[in-house]
Amino acid sequence: LVGPKEKSVAGQVCLITGAGGGLGRLFALEFARRRARLVLWDINAQSNEETAGMVRLVYRQLAEPSPRPVTGDGEKEVVPPCNLQVYTYTCDVSKREDVYSTAERVRKEVGEVSVLVNNAGVVSGHHLLECPDELIERTMMVNCHAHFWTTKAFLPKMLEMNHGHIVTVASSLGLFSTAGVEDYCASKFGAVGFHESLSHELKAAEKDGIKMTLVCPYLVDTGMFRGCRIRKEIEPFLPPLKPDYCVKQAMRAILTDQPMICTPRLMYIVTFMKSILPFEAVVCMYRFLGADKCMYPFIAQRKQATNNNEAKNGI
């Protein structure tokens, strides 16, 4: 009847991968509003600095004294100014040497990380037989393998202190799959499997001070899967998620130590049905929803954009 109380992350070091845009940028702003110290990683230095500028603006707004009423005597309390900073690092999380060296810099320049948000992700947008091997490898490295490197870099201190929080931003396509994005689905299934196995390991080690949250959103309107379409009759009931809504739901799950969050809630039902129904029944359900070929328009757009770019450059 009473919702769980959100924990405080004020003053704690929060590291977000893929912070240069999309959900990573929104996560950074949400943690900044809660007075966390931000460490932003992205392969794009310019977009990463843009996110940092937004975070600094939030910090400046928090630093302005704002009177708050105090219950009891009716007097007003002034919130002390916060001395918070944001740190940016250019890092390719697909390269473990880059992750480990950047992590060492973070420990020396900022301190130990308390909240690790593994958010960085890429998509190739090609059918399997048309997808270059290099793109398949990159999808697996960024979306899955990078979680191993970042966790290995920061988990030891969390274990020593028995304190921390690891967030895995996966996808609903890490719980059930669709046609045409085999590499993406495989990478997200791998991230989910890694997260769940690590959760069990921490439970077995009785490290109850280290929390884990798995974030599995439905299609988010960030442009990553622009063109993806389900059946038009179903679309009004299952539209792409607004990024702000997705991140706010995920933040509430993180701050209440919720082990897993699927948005919208219908994703829980789809996952459950996939677990209990025969494969052919799942295929029928996908066809009814229009989810069996929902990625085909997206792939066609990516292919056209690639061809136009090649023609423009005379390739």
| pLDDT, position 71 | 47
**Mean of the pLDDT values across residues 133-158?**
97
Whole-angstrom distance, CA of residue 14 vs CA of residue 35: 10
| pLDDT, position 223 | 78
Using the predicted structure, report yes or no on whether residue 72 has a pLDDT greater than 60: no
Give the pLDDT band (50/70/90) at residue 298.
Answer: confident
> Residue 289 is part of which domain span?
13-63+82-313
Question: β-strands 260-263, 210-217: how paired?
Answer: parallel
Whole-angstrom distance, CA of residue 21 vs CA of residue 18: 7
* Residues 6+ positions from 252 with CB-CB distance below 8 Å: 6, 258, 261
Say if residues 169 and 247 touch (Cβ distance below 8 Å): no
In a domain, 246, yes or no: yes
Q: Which of 48-62, 142-156, 287-301 has the lowest mean pLDDT?
A: 287-301
In a domain, 17, yes or no: yes
pLDDT single digits (tens) 24-66: 999 999 999 999 999 999 999 999 999 999 999 999 999 876 6
pLDDT single digits (tens) 167-219: 999 999 999 889 889 999 999 999 999 999 999 999 999 999 999 999 999 98
In a domain, 217, yes or no: yes
In a domain, 283, yes or no: yes
Amino acid at 299: I
**Mean of the pLDDT values across residues 251-270?**
93
Using the predicted structure, report yes or no on whether residue 315 has a pLDDT greater than 50: no
| pLDDT, position 79 | 46
- What's the number of domains the chain is made of? 1
| pLDDT, position 78 | 47
Between 292 and 89, the higher pLDDT residue: 89
Q: What is the mean pLDDT of the chain?
A: 89
Give the pLDDT band (50/70/90) at residue 75.
Answer: low
Using the predicted structure, report yes or no on whether residue 310 has a pLDDT greater than 50: yes
Using the predicted structure, report yes or no on whether residue 77 has a pLDDT greater than 50: no
In a domain, 77, yes or no: no
State percent of the chain over pLDDT 70: 90
Amino acid at 204: A
Catalytic residue among 59, 89, 184, 286: 184
Q: Which of 23-37, 132-146, 216-230, 260-274 has the lowest mean pLDDT?
A: 216-230
**Mean of the pLDDT values across residues 259-270?**
91
| pLDDT, position 247 | 96
| pLDDT, position 313 | 52
State the Cα angle at 223 between 222 and 224, rounded to 5°: 95
Residue with tokens 């990078």: 146
Concerning whether 184 is annotated as a catalytic residue, the answer is: yes
- Residue 217's CATH number: 3.40.50.720
